[in-house]
Amino acid sequence: MLMQIAAPALETRTVSILGAACGRGARDERCQHGPRALRQGGLIARLRYQGIDACWRGTLPAPSSETGIPALQAVSGLCKRLAARIDDLVAEGDYFAVLGGDHACAAGTWSGAARGLSGRGPLGLIWVDAHMDAHVPETSPSGTLHGMPVACLLGHGEEALTSIAGRGPALRPEHICLIGVRSFEDGEAAFLGRLGVRVIFMEEIVRRGLDAVMDEALGIAVTGTAGFGVSIDLDALDPIEAPGVGSPVAQGLSADALISALEGPQRRSGFIGIEIAEFNPALDGGGVTARLIGDLLVASVPARPTP
């Protein structure tokens, strides 16, 4: 009798995409139009053409300043709705991508991810950004909420944003690593230093290379955690390559280097999702940044064996 040899399972690449149409955390509210511009610009068709089964699961809006609703109320409301959606996706085992909108949405994205992992273990996070985003209201010169999500995820700041994860903070200091920082204030640097958060400045990336830095960040994000994600602020990239951002900082990461470095997380088990924030289509001459977002998504979506 001939033995039947099972064929190897084919690999699929799937992603559930959520838009976070929030501009209230930033000075320039036009980033709220980022998700709509990406969807109308054919992002889903492009991803499917490149072999990714992408599904747009909706866009969550935040009230604009014209409504008179305070910024904290608008942002926290969006973050709570976003957290509930991400909680469900993570609990179901779906790989997700959140597209912003300003980076204040991260308080919702990663609080929801932490809730989805609850019962299995803590969340790990790689934060790619030109800024630390670790202000609390007392240290912030501008008071803008997109400068505060790291602090909020660590349990410090406005209660409306720190409480979204439920019991305790969404993140522990030993499970997050910041990459690409080159613009920050003393108050937030001192805050992260007290907590012992690893911050890898741009100078160190120039010296060591982004692949080596990403390997270190991965070690931090996966050690003692049940799953991890990557949050990318587009201003981490050099503004020559990513002009469509509201807070550009010169001498940033190269697009090719970041795309290559995302192969590291993509190949690791436990990678649950990615967030790409601060896309402002009004500043994106020629659609350069929109195309780059597609490239980042293609590089980040992991292959998974079919059942």
Distance in angstroms (rounded) separating the CA atoms of residues 115 and 121: 10
Amino acid (1-letter code) at residue 171 = L
Burial 119-133 (b: 16+ CB within 10 A, else e): eeebbbbbbbbbbbb
Distance in angstroms (rounded) separating the CA atoms of residues 273 and 109: 9
Structure tokens at 244: 């469509």
Sign of the dihedral defined by the CA atoms of residues 293, 307, 87, 136, in that order: negative
- What residues act catalytically? 103, 129, 131, 133, 146, 233, 235, 278
Residues 180, 202: contact at Cβ < 8 Å?
yes
Distance in angstroms (rounded) separating the CA atoms of residues 95 and 47: 14
Sign of the dihedral defined by the CA atoms of residues 205, 207, 209, 212, in that order: negative
Distance in angstroms (rounded) separating the CA atoms of residues 150 and 153: 5
Distance in angstroms (rounded) separating the CA atoms of residues 46 and 210: 27
Distance in angstroms (rounded) separating the CA atoms of residues 304 and 267: 10
Indicate the burial class of 305 (C-beta count within 10 angstroms; 0-12, 13-18, 19 or more): exposed
Indicate the burial class of 111 (C-beta count within 10 angstroms; 0-12, 13-18, 19 or more): buried
Distance in angstroms (rounded) separating the CA atoms of residues 116 and 252: 33
